[in-house]
Amino acid sequence: MDAGLKRELGEKVRSGERLTHEDGRALYAADDLAWLGGLAHEVRTRHNGDRVHFAATRHLDTTVVAASRRAGELAGEGLTELYLSSGPDPDPDLPWDERIRSLRELTAALPDVSLHAFTATGIQHAETLTGRPAAQLLDELIDAGLASLTGGAGTLGWADWSRIQRLAHAKGLKTPCTVLHGESEDPGHKVAQALRLRELQDETGGFQTVVPLPVPLSGARTATPLETLKTFAVSRLLLDNVPHLKVRLPMYGVQTAQLTLQHGADDIDAAPGACGSPAEPPLTREDLLDLIRDAGFRPAERTARYTLVQEYEGPDPARREAPQPMRL
């Protein structure tokens, strides 16, 4: 990228001017990752200062019914959020009304925990299985205590996916939106995906966070750390109307996750389970505080709707007097 184009893109970002599809392609083509990360860092700072948000979160790769049976155990963990994943979503062998009943039980057992379950794909499948429209299904879930749909790659086309997101947002649900990376060699696909999400966010305002997710490339090659950091940075620059950008640490490992915090991310999800190996123990609060401080940021514990619970002290100022490696 020549100096003139870099200057033009930098001026656009700093003035708050919206980036175009052509701009997005140029950003993905940039070979100066430090410059790109710096632009994304400016935008994340504009949105969130030096905070990195986290919550006491668990991801359970299980059915709602099985999770409701574990409510007593979970109640002692001091959770803020609980994400439920269940393979085929919803399971055709589990009646919808039974899922609603179990969700109510889970809500009653964990009244202070925000429950997140069901993808837009799952809601569309439930329409087919139950014959009920998505609007009615969402009302039933909300009445049973659901706080948010979950993200994920899904298999829906844009028309059905966006229809269900519009319905959820109109009913007051805040949802994540997902940016896939690694599935296409063509950056134009990722740019078009991000701009389509940006347009929907302009319409509904219901996306609370962007969650980049890696998927294998052809030949089972996974996205490299360079591709990952570019995706985070460009996502932060293009999706200027979504307030938060989340990294799921078990998908990337500690070092890459810390680097994403320098490339636009402001929220870190360290819970193993649906997004990582369930055999790995969850990080403690102190682990997360150290990890965030090691990356040079101020930890901020949040609720599901990003209300601040507690802001902690930032990194030791003396640490900045000399370069130090991040925690591995």
DSSP calls for 179-240: EEESS-S-HHHHHHHHHHHHHHHHHH--EEEEEEEE---GGGPPPPHHHHHHHHHHHHHH-T
Answer whether residue 24 is part of any domain: no
Contact of 112 with 72, CB cutoff 8 Å: no
Answer whether residue 260 is part of any domain: yes
What does the pLDDT look like over 151-168, one tens digit per residue?
A: 876 678 999 999 999 999
List the alpha helices (DSSP H) in the chain.
3-15, 21-29, 33-48, 64-69, 71-75, 96-109, 120-130, 134-144, 158-170, 187-204, 225-238, 249-252, 254-260, 285-294
Classify burial at 27, counting beta carbons within 10 Å of its beta carbon; exposed 0-12, middle 13-18, buried 19 or more.
Answer: buried
Answer whether residue 96 is part of any domain: yes
Contact of 112 with 81, CB cutoff 8 Å: no
Farthest CA pair distance, the chain: 64
Answer whether residue 216 is part of any domain: yes
Answer whether residue 11 is part of any domain: no
Residue-level pLDDT at 185 = 64
DSSP reduced 3-state for 28: helix
As for how many domains the chain has, the answer is: 1
Answer whether residue 3 is part of any domain: no
Residue-level pLDDT at 90 = 54
Answer whether residue 122 is part of any domain: yes
Domain of 244 in residue numbering reads as 33-312
Which CATH number goes with the domain that contains 290?
3.20.20.70
Residue-level pLDDT at 60 = 80
Residue-level pLDDT at 280 = 58
Where the chain has pLDDT below 70, the residues are 62-63, 86-93, 153-154, 183-185, 216-221, 273-281, 319-328
Classify burial at 142, counting beta carbons within 10 Å of its beta carbon; exposed 0-12, middle 13-18, buried 19 or more.
Answer: middle
Residue-level pLDDT at 153 = 61
113: Cβ–Cβ under 8 A, 6 or more apart, which residues? 74, 79, 80, 81, 82
Answer whether residue 80 is part of any domain: yes
The pTM is what?
0.90
